[in-house]
A and B are shown apart, each in its own frame.
Chain A
Amino acid sequence: MTEVIVSLAIGVLAASGVWLILRPRTFQVAIGLSLLAYAVNLFIFAMGRLRMGAAPIVEAGKAADPAAFADPLPQALVLTAIVISFATTALLLVVLLAARGLSGTDHVDGREPK
């Protein structure tokens, strides 16, 4: 069940992100990129395999068993990816505002279609 929900969530996020990227307004593009980034982050996390009801690291009262750990590497990758996408989105927002200020429109081409 978890697998279905997680994959549906990733799919819906990615689809909305792609649709928004293809929209003509810069703000929609920025939001679309953020949604896509969320989808990708979840995807990376899911690549560490999903498991139900497992202990985060060690179960209380038992000896540690490395085979039962959740894979920590995808989590580290997700952290890096989150930081990077956060920073680039912030940069994109600044550029977006600059484009709005310089061209007077929020169309991605810097001018309204005829």
Chain B
Amino acid sequence: MLPIVLPLAAGALTLVLDEGRQMLKAWISVGAAVLLVVIAAALVRLADESFATVYRVGDWPAPYGIVLVVDRVSAILVLLTSVLGVASLVFSLASWHRAGPRFHSLVQFLLMGINGAFLTGDLFNLFVFFEVLLAASYGLALHGSGEVRVRASLHYIVVNLAASLLFLVGASLIYGATGTLNMADLALRWREAAPPDRALFEAGAAILGVAFLVKAAMWPLCFWLPAAYSAASAPAAALFAVLTKVGIYAVLRTGLLFAGEAQAAPSTGTPWLAYGGMATIVFGALGVLASQDLGRLASCSVLVSSGTLLAAIAIGSTPLTGAALYYLVVSTLALSALFLLVELVDRGRGPGADVLAVTAEAFRASDSEDESSEVGRVIPAATAVLGLSFGACAVMLAGLPPLAGFVGKFAMLDALLEATPVPRASWAMVALLVVSGFATIIGMARAGVRRFWALPEGSMPRVRILEIAPVLALLTLCVVLTVAAGSLIEYLDAGARALHQPGGYVDRVLAP
């Protein structure tokens, strides 16, 4: 309960405070986010002790009232979200939070929506939290204004509104067919439905799936993502890195819950999900290779990451899901760090320099104006720090040893090749994992060389400690997760086993 109420309270508090009192708002906001991390860590411990902990809102019994459920997977994801929240809030303190009104409230509402979506056990409640996080993300995408941002946000808003309507159609079809919206109750009820109702339920689930996949940015539904993410301001984009994961989590949770224990007979949508995920990897990898500015490169990496996860979920043996969840955590951390870093690296460059740099080396001497009026203290060897962080991000995303990205990919490959004989889809997935890693290396290395080694005179990036600290903290967390990979994977494996055997979840939710 607290992970939802706390950001709501903090957001409301910062909303009523006058715009002039920025420092106070910043303190409230960061304080609430730090507290959220502590609470999420407590939730992670709580989830480890029991199968799934249920909180009944208003103490109504389960199929009638709305429940919030925390199990291992959702607890880890809440923790991930709150860590990203702290990082991007601290980053924004340097300059971004003054770039437009109500920044702190929007971030808090976004955190509330994401946490709620991870924790809820009710289909319509999930819709409401989706809307909360989307409404906040519309505001954040617009944060800082400017023509590019407004245009990208317009597309982003329209696409997501249409997807929300699909979500509603799907949810109401499911309600019409089964008469319940509680996810655990649904998992039991839909089997008992009469054949015509069952067809309705399946149609509803399919429409719901499309709505989730728009948020998760699967291939034919993902064209809105690169423009919106690369146009968003850095702290907002860093938080958006976790938004696609909400869609993926929804697919994972509802898909496995409805599939039930009958894993031997995969449902009809599964191969589509696998191929769609693989197509997303291809599209994202091509995007990484083709993109000329760093923001777009980072957005395409988001696509690669979510495609990998979708395909892994669809192929879906239990150890593979565990490995994919580990990959989810580390790749989101790395992507977030990358989005923050992109802003710092690109600050010293003129707007448009990216496109020109490809064709014209002559633009080397252009000493461009800083985009932000904030003139910070130049920390010694700023470029070196930035370069090293960028390298670390690249290594993480491409999945090279020694960092956590490698551990995640290796665990996934291991799980894919475990079955004998290995199915064809798994071979395709193995090939794509390796090739997409390779494409990421090429794209990031090219971008890195252009940014850090061919640095034009006079465009030394100015970096404040307040801004580089969150990036370094996120990367340090990645290193820690590499060292502690064993225990985290064990934890997530237990979570994945629980997801694949939803009987326990259903029992806990419906227990009187």
Query: A73 contacts which chain B residues (CB < 8 A)?
Result: 175, 181
- Interface range on chain B: under 10, 10 to 19, 20 to 34, or 35 or more? 20 to 34
Name A80's contact: one of B128, B161, B173, B175 (CB within 8 Å).
Answer: B128
Can you give 21 contacting A-B residue pairs, CB < 8 Å? A21-B158, A26-B154, A29-B158, A36-B162, A40-B165, A43-B169, A43-B172, A48-B176, A73-B175, A74-B175, A85-B161, A88-B131, A88-B164, A91-B135, A92-B154, A92-B158, A95-B150, A99-B154, A102-B150, A108-B158, A110-B147
Answer yes or no: B124 CB below 8 A from chain A CBs.
yes
Report how far A43 CA is from B139 CA in the complex, Å: 29
Query: A95 contacts which chain B residues (CB < 8 A)?
Result: 138, 142, 150, 153-154, 157
- Tell me if B168 and A81 are in contact (CB < 8 A): yes
- Tell me if B151 and A103 are in contact (CB < 8 A): yes
Apart from A36-B165, A91-B138: 13 A-B pairs, beta carbons within 8 A: A33-B158, A33-B162, A36-B162, A48-B176, A77-B175, A85-B165, A88-B135, A88-B164, A91-B135, A96-B154, A98-B142, A102-B146, A102-B150
Query: B153 contacts which chain A residues (CB < 8 A)?
Result: 95
- Tell me if B173 and A98 are in contact (CB < 8 A): no
Q: Mark B378-396, 1 if CB is under 8 A from A, else 0.
A: 0000000000000000000
Answer yes or no: A12 CB below 8 A from chain B CBs.
no
Name B176's contact: one of A29, A47, A103 (CB within 8 Å).
Answer: A47
Report how far A102 CA is from B154 CA in the complex, Å: 12
Query: B169 contacts which chain A residues (CB < 8 A)?
Result: 40, 43
Report how far A80 CA is from B171 CA in the complex, Å: 13
Answer yes or no: A68 CB below 8 A from chain B CBs.
no
- Tell me if A98 and B157 are in contact (CB < 8 A): no
Query: B157 contacts which chain A residues (CB < 8 A)?
Result: 88, 91-92, 95
- Tell me if A110 and B158 are in contact (CB < 8 A): no
Report how far A37 CA is from B166 CA in the complex, Å: 10
Report how far A92 CA is from B150 CA in the complex, Å: 11
CB-CB under 8 A for A110 and B151, given A33-B158, A47-B172: yes
Answer yes or no: B145 CB below 8 A from chain A CBs.
yes
Q: Chain B interface (Cβ within 8 Å of chain A)?
A: 124, 128, 131, 134-135, 138-139, 142, 145-147, 150-151, 153-155, 157-158, 161-162, 164-165, 168-169, 171-173, 175-176, 181
Report how far A81 CA is from B142 CA in the complex, Å: 24
User: Shortest CB–CB separation between residue A15 and chain B, in angstroms?
Assistant: 14
Q: Which of B134, B158, B175 has the most CB of A within 10 A?
A: B158
User: Shortest CB–CB separation between residue B501 and chain A, in angstroms?
Assistant: 30
Answer yes or no: A112 CB below 8 A from chain B CBs.
no
Answer yes or no: A55 CB below 8 A from chain B CBs.
no
Query: B165 contacts which chain A residues (CB < 8 A)?
Result: 33, 36-37, 40, 85
Mostly, the B contact residues are helix
Report how far A73 CA is from B161 CA in the complex, Å: 23
CB-CB under 8 A for A77 and B135, given A92-B158, A108-B154: no
Q: Which residue of B lies closest to A111 (CB)?
A: B151
Answer yes or no: A63 CB below 8 A from chain B CBs.
no
User: Shortest CB–CB separation between residue B447 and chain A, in angstroms?
Assistant: 27
Q: Mark A8-45, 1 if CB is under 8 A from B, else 0.
A: 00000000000001000010010001001100100110
Q: Which residue of A lies closest to B146 (CB)?
A: A102
Report how far A84 CA is from B138 CA in the complex, Å: 14
- Tell me if A77 and B124 are in contact (CB < 8 A): yes
Query: B158 contacts which chain A residues (CB < 8 A)?
Result: 21, 29, 33, 92, 108
Query: A77 contacts which chain B residues (CB < 8 A)?
Result: 124, 171-172, 175
Query: A99 contacts which chain B residues (CB < 8 A)?
Result: 150-151, 154
Query: A96 contacts which chain B residues (CB < 8 A)?
Result: 154
User: Shortest CB–CB separation between residue B186 and chain A, in angstroms?
Assistant: 14
Name A74's contact: one of B134, B138, B154, B172 (CB within 8 Å).
Answer: B172
